[in-house]
Structure 1
Amino acid sequence: MPSTMPYRQGDIVLVSFPFTDLSSSKRRPALVLSPDSFNAAGEDLVLAAVTSQITDDPNAVPLWQGHFAEGGLPKPSMVKPTKLFTMHSSLIAKRIGALRIEKMEEILRSLRRFFS
């Protein structure tokens, strides 16, 4: 059953991530990007895809086990700030970890660079 717990910026959650052409979806981790004030005020979250496919994408930010304040991922991964989506919090399967604040700040800087 999907969780209805409040999610925080920096949480890693498990979701059915939609393909960009909406033809299908794949269960994978995602990072909560939206600020806590936004998350608490409504039921939607802004998420970024997380992948274990390590590439040289200049916009992607690497994630290693040491970047987590709690929980984690089974393999080194990358946050893809160019793969963003909004999802109702009831559709999240579960919370699987939370990033350290320093790593979250690095990801937000990457996102700002991408949109500037």
Structure 2
Amino acid sequence: MTKGTIVLTPFPFTDLSTVKRRPEVIVSSSEKPGDDVIVAFISSRITEPTRETEYTLEIDHPDFKDTGFKKRSVFKPEN
């Protein structure tokens, strides 16, 4: 897993009844198998104004199409 890669990860519902695949970005990883990987949450639910620690992925950014997202989204390293 490479730093900056967007991945889909299964997240359980609060009541643990089922899971939903959610996008995350890899923030830190190791090349060693079995080591921990640090990820950050990505959401299309954006609260305005965004926090200083949040980064908005704008639709009009030249690389937005490469993300695979359909909506403006926010990268939340602290949630």
**Pair in the same fold by TM > 0.5:** yes
More helix by share: 1
Task: Tell me the C-alpha RMSD between the 2 structures.
Answer: 2.5
Deviation at 1:28, TM superposition (A): 1.2
Measured in 1, the distance between the counterparts of 2:56 and 2:38 equals: 19
User: Of 3, 23, 27, which aligns to 1:9?
Assistant: 3
> Retained in 2: the 8 A contact 1:48–1:79?
yes
More strand by share: 1
Measured in 2, the distance between the counterparts of 1:75 and 1:50 equals: 11
TM-score by length of 1: 0.50
Who is 1:81 aligned against?
A: 77
Q: Residue type of the partner of 1:13?
A: V
Highest RCO, 1 vs 2 (Cα 8 Å, sep ≥ 6) = 1
Alignment of 1:1-116 (within 5 A): 7-18=1-12, 23-24=15-16, 25-35=19-29, 38=30, 40-43=31-34, 44-55=36-47, 56-58=49-51, 59-65=53-59, 66=61, 68=63, 71-72=66-67, 73-83=69-79
TM-score by length of 2: 0.69
Q: Which runs of 5+ in 1 are unaligned?
A: 1-6, 84-116
Q: Which runs of 5+ in 2 are unaligned?
A: none
CA separation of 1:18 and 1:69: change in aligned 2, threshold 3 A: same
Aligned residue pairs, count: 72
> Retained in 2: the 8 A contact 1:17–1:49?
no
